[in-house]
Structure 1
Amino acid sequence: MFFNDYYNSPIGNITMASDGGSLCGLWFDGQKYFASTVKGETEDKTLPVFEQTKKWLDIYFSGNEPDFMPKLSLNGSEFRKAVWDILLTIPYGSVMTYGEIAKILAKQRGVAKMSAQAVGGAVGHNPISIIVPCHRVVGTNGNLTGYAGGIDKKISLLKIEKTDVKKLIQKFPKRIN
């Protein structure tokens, strides 16, 4: 059984999922792969992990970096988990390219190279948006590329972190406010 709770963020409604003790999902409503890691019955319930996650989100959306992490449970293949672990190392307000992540993975696995496209697939299937910061991943030369929640939300999240979005925007100049 999984449990749900909800958060109304300044950039859209968010659904959270838990196995009862850990956060296992956090999605903008309607985003690609919404609730993909939640299998079986769900029930709306207030849980300590949801209260902690809401506190984390309150701090984050106020423009500050939270100094704690809710307990996470990332469910996916070994490859996806390795990519998500790297996402957790990207500093607040910084970005990393798919290619850089691929190089880190290749080194960790002792292989000559790793596919940046495969990395992109794993990033896109991240089940805990924002907290596992897939929005901090950009294409080659800093191009903003796909985000399961939508490019507009990616831009908003990077702006919240005071990332110099104007330097990153090459494909979407009209979306800058």
Structure 2
Amino acid sequence: MWTVIESPIGPLRLVEQDGAITAIEFSPFRDGARPIGPEDPDTPVLVAAARQLTEYFAGDRHEFDLPLAPAGSAWQRSVWAQLLGIGYGETASYGDIAARLGKTNAASRAVGTANGANPIPIVIPCHRVIGANGTLTGYAGGLDRKQLLLELESEPLQDALF
């Protein structure tokens, strides 16, 4: 099942299977890339995901509470689990994630590959991973979207300082 919602970073297709979110896709959608079933915006999981993403984009939600079922290798899932530990408004480098997994900095490239394969962006916050020197690096949704997501998350922190 799937539905499409509008967002400040363009339309997002939310995909559910067996009661869990399996993908969030950026427009333009790659139809046929994976079987997603019929459109049905009224399943409880898709309704909750749409509501929580809307709250996130409004600045009212900093954590998601959704059942997730990202398909990937054991390594990819371990990286994605680490991404969930990067808090709202925070960033980490690929090397930081490698270290959290008990790997050396040499594993940074493998972390980057797994990060880029994340099928549930935003909710599994791969946009919060940046280069070791603080620069924005690749993002499946494009660097413009990554920048917008990071700016969205930094605004409440800036407002609290002034």
Instruction: Identify whether the pair has TM-score above 0.5, normalized to the shorter chain.
Output: yes
Q: CA distance change for structure 1 residues 41 and 95 in 2, over 3 Å: closer, same or farther?
A: closer
* Deviation readout 1:48-100 (Å, 9 max, x if unpaired): 11110011111110123345411111110000000000000000000000011
Q: Deviating runs (4+, > 2 A) in structure 1? A: 38-41, 64-68, 111-114
TM-score (norm 2): 0.87
Aligned counterparts of 1:159 and 1:44: Cα–Cα separation in 2: 31
Structure 1 residue aligned with 2:160: none
CA-based RMSD: 2.1
Instruction: Give yes or no for contact 2:22–2:68 (8 Å, CA) kept in 1.
Output: yes
Correspondence 1:165-176 to 2 at 5 A: none
**49, 58, 62: which one aligns with 2:58:** 62
Identity value in percent = 37
Corresponding residue for residue 12 of structure 2: 14
Change in CA separation of 1:57 and 1:40 when aligned onto 2, cut-off 3 Å: closer
| Cα offset, 1:102, TM superposition | 0.9
> Could you tell which deviates more after superposition, 75-84 or 38-47?
38-47
Q: Secondary structure at the match of 2:3?
A: strand
CA change 1:39–1:68 in 2 (3 A) is closer
User: Contact 2:95–2:105 at 8 Å: present in 1 too?
Assistant: no
Kept after mapping to 1: 8 A contact 2:89/2:153:
yes
Find 1:157's aligned residue among 149, 153, 156: 149
Deviations 1:11-32 (A, max 9, x none): 200001111300000021137x
- Return 5+ residue gaps in structure 1 as ranges: 165-177
Q: 1:143 aligns with which of 130, 135, 138?
A: 135
Instruction: Please point out which of 108, 117, 124 is paired with 1:116.
Output: 108
